[in-house]
Amino acid sequence: MVRYIRQGAALAALASLLAACAPAPPSLTSLEVQESPGVVTRDRVLAIAVKNEPRSIAAVSPSGGGVAPSFTVRPFNAYMELVDDRGVGRPYLAEALPQLNTDSWQVFPDGRMETRYRLKTGLTWHDGAPLGADDFVFAWQVYIVPDLGLAGSAPLTQIEEVLAPNARSVVIRWRRAYPGAGILQIGTTNPGLPPLPRHLLEKSFREGSSEALMIHPYWTQDFVGLGPYRLERWELGSFIEAAAFDGHALGKPKVDQIKLVFFADANTALASMRAGAVQMATDNALTWQQGLELKQEWAATNAGTLLRTAGAWRSIATQLRPDVANPRAILDLRVRKALMQALDRQAVNEGVWAREGLMTDTFIASTVEYFPMIDAAIMKYPFDLRASERFMNEAGFTKGPEGFFTSSTDGRFTPELKSLAGGDNDTERTIVAHGWRQAGFDVQEAALPAALGQDGQSRAIFPTMYSYSQNAAEANLVSAFTSASIPKAENRWIGDNRPGWANAEYDRIVDAFNATLDPNERVQQRVQIARLVSEELPSLPMYFQLTPGPFLSSLFRGPVPVTPAVTSGALSWNIHEWEWIR
């Protein structure tokens, strides 16, 4: 049984100690043993700083929080495929991946499909129980229970049935043509159809309620997975310790032990990096500016490397639920266009990204080959205060004596700009709000506490605007604006459509896009999708978010840059290959 200890005061004490000793040179971790001068044993811990403690380390969990931060999920989970740093799927648990128009991927005359997988031999769960095809069937049966809040996400919405003809064969029957059937994962926020251990969960699932399954200790202290590392200890509020799994499908990891350390405070994480108490920082444990500081400090000694990951699209969601929106003027497209024209993205680039940001007018990355067609079709809103004021005038607002937009019927327009508290979010929020106030918008700032950062309801029920990041995988962002992705009480507030935007035409196009196999037709559908979002502005686009991934490359090697981060776990996609170099 994994130790699950409820204490967190040790982290505060560690912070004080680290701050006092920084910037000491990298030191040995607690499990290193110095046998003789210049010789260090390999039985040591790779400590990695992450910002948020996950609710669960399962690939998918019915916890109400959706999927945990990508880095903390990857070490413990395995899938049919492993998506690498180029976005290419490789066989993982499966011997091979389905190929269209072969026996492994058939399209039938009525539009339905069937894909087939054969599992590798000798695969086991972390507890030694064999992995079987029936674990995938069982997982599908769990995921489609409406009360668990997972059934509305792809690819589950497209799957008609999952079968296990024998212990190593998995057959997926699709309701219709689905282009994502070859690689079930969609970026890092939708891992497809990860298996569940039937031998551990089936009794609770068959005999208990949905609530009973949700609180099963499997999702936390008793987690058993298939990934390169098995859970050994989870100390709430502090860290997770894990050991290399001998039975991993791709071989035992080269680093024997890892430790994920939670740092709500970026300054404490920075001190830990400088002191050598952690050898890597990811999942927004540090701000971009702090990452640049480390890069400069390491330049003379080559002690470390700063990796850049642009795996998230950053935008400002506008509240479009009529029963929630306050002020209600945000429901007026002209007001949203006015805000967009007064959004000084260059100031954000300078203030947050030191002019190295990837600013954008759309959620489709400029690196794709068809981007010129997207770029020609979308509406663009350059920084233009005259155009902004014109839109507000058309919406019935004029500037009052104090320089803020006011309506004779609604009074002063006083929107709220909220974002998750801490680090770059605070800097960005201040810059954006200041610019809008200068333009005549009486913007009020609000910070969502870090403790609520994974609470779906808190992230969805904001009065006016909410600045947030979404996984940059195309399929994820396309589905994020569909009506089915609106988080609400009925689906336990799971869904990425935080604006609550419902557009029938958009839903129709996405529905067709998700069933189209022809590559050229899919490009035309992408153009329509991007155009609609740019015209209706459910979210105000800003940039592709850079996440710093500094690590002590003088001590270990393996991490590679991932842009965009559409892999299995972003920087941790190949964690089983990392190794100590001294």
**C-alpha 278: how far from chain center:** 23
Q: 205-251, pLDDT tens digit by residue?
A: 988 777 788 888 999 889 999 999 999 999 999 999 999 999 999 99
Least confident of 55-69, 154-168, 212-226, 508-522: 55-69
- In this prediction, residue 9 carries a pLDDT of 37
Q: 445-478, pLDDT tens digit by residue?
A: 999 998 888 888 999 999 999 999 887 778 778 9
- In this prediction, residue 69 carries a pLDDT of 60
Whether 121 maps to a domain, the answer reads no
DSSP-assigned states of every residue in 272-293: HHHHTS-SEE-TTSS-HHHHHH
Backbone dihedral angles phi then psi of residue 3, each to the nearest 5 degrees: -70, 135
Average pLDDT over residues 265-287: 94
Tell me if 413 sits within 8 A of 441, measured CB to CB: yes
- In this prediction, residue 61 carries a pLDDT of 82
pLDDT tier for residue 192 given thresholds of 50, 70 and 90: confident
Tell me if 349 sits within 8 A of 532, measured CB to CB: no
* Tokens (6 digits) for 18: 């680290």
- In this prediction, residue 273 carries a pLDDT of 95
Q: 124-157, pLDDT tens digit by residue?
A: 999 999 999 999 999 999 999 887 777 877 788 8
- In this prediction, residue 245 carries a pLDDT of 98
Q: 83-116, pLDDT tens digit by residue?
A: 888 778 899 999 999 999 999 999 999 999 999 9
Residue pointed to by tokens 């529905």: 511
Task: Enumerate residues 6+ apart whose C-beta is below 8 A from 582.
Answer: 40, 554, 555
Whether 396 maps to a domain, the answer reads yes
Residue pointed to by tokens 């002209």: 334
pLDDT tier for residue 4 given thresholds of 50, 70 and 90: very low
* Tokens (6 digits) for 298: 């390491």
Total domains present in the chain: 1
Spatial separation of the C-alpha atoms in residues 388 and 410, rounded to whole Å: 19
Whether 254 maps to a domain, the answer reads no
* Tokens (6 digits) for 291: 């990452």
Whether 493 maps to a domain, the answer reads yes
- In this prediction, residue 21 carries a pLDDT of 41
* Tokens (6 digits) for 333: 């497209």
- In this prediction, residue 13 carries a pLDDT of 39
Whether 294 maps to a domain, the answer reads no
Whether 382 maps to a domain, the answer reads yes
Within a 13 Å sphere around the CA of 417, how many CA atoms are in the beta-carbon half? Answer: 25
Spatial separation of the C-alpha atoms in residues 432 and 426, rounded to whole Å: 10
Short-list 512, 521, 510, CA closest to 478? 510
128 torsion bin: left (phi>0), alpha (psi -120 to 50), beta (else): left
- In this prediction, residue 63 carries a pLDDT of 55
- In this prediction, residue 401 carries a pLDDT of 94
Count Cβ atoms within 10 A of the Cβ of residue 115 and give its class: 0-12 exposed, 13-18 middle, 19 or more buried. buried
Spatial separation of the C-alpha atoms in residues 455 and 45, rounded to whole Å: 31
Average pLDDT over residues 418-441: 94
Tell me if 223 sits within 8 A of 2, measured CB to CB: yes
Spatial separation of the C-alpha atoms in residues 333 and 92, rounded to whole Å: 46
Q: 10-43, pLDDT tens digit by residue?
A: 333 333 333 444 333 333 333 333 333 343 444 6
Spatial separation of the C-alpha atoms in residues 342 and 437, rounded to whole Å: 10
3-state secondary structure of 239: strand
- In this prediction, residue 563 carries a pLDDT of 65
- In this prediction, residue 550 carries a pLDDT of 97
Assign residue 514 the CATH number of its domain: 3.10.105.10
Percent of the chain with pLDDT over 90: 68
Whether 126 maps to a domain, the answer reads no
429: containing domain: 310-546
Whether 92 maps to a domain, the answer reads no
Average pLDDT score over the chain: 88
Q: Which residues pair with 116 in a beta bridge?
A: 171
Spatial separation of the C-alpha atoms in residues 529 and 478, rounded to whole Å: 7
Taking the alpha carbons at both ends of the chain, their separation in whole angstroms is: 33
- In this prediction, residue 565 carries a pLDDT of 57
pLDDT surpasses 90 at 65? no
- In this prediction, residue 209 carries a pLDDT of 73
The pTM assigned to this predicted structure is 0.74
pLDDT surpasses 90 at 492? no
CA angle (534, 536, 541) in 5-degree steps: 45
521 torsion bin: left (phi>0), alpha (psi -120 to 50), beta (else): alpha
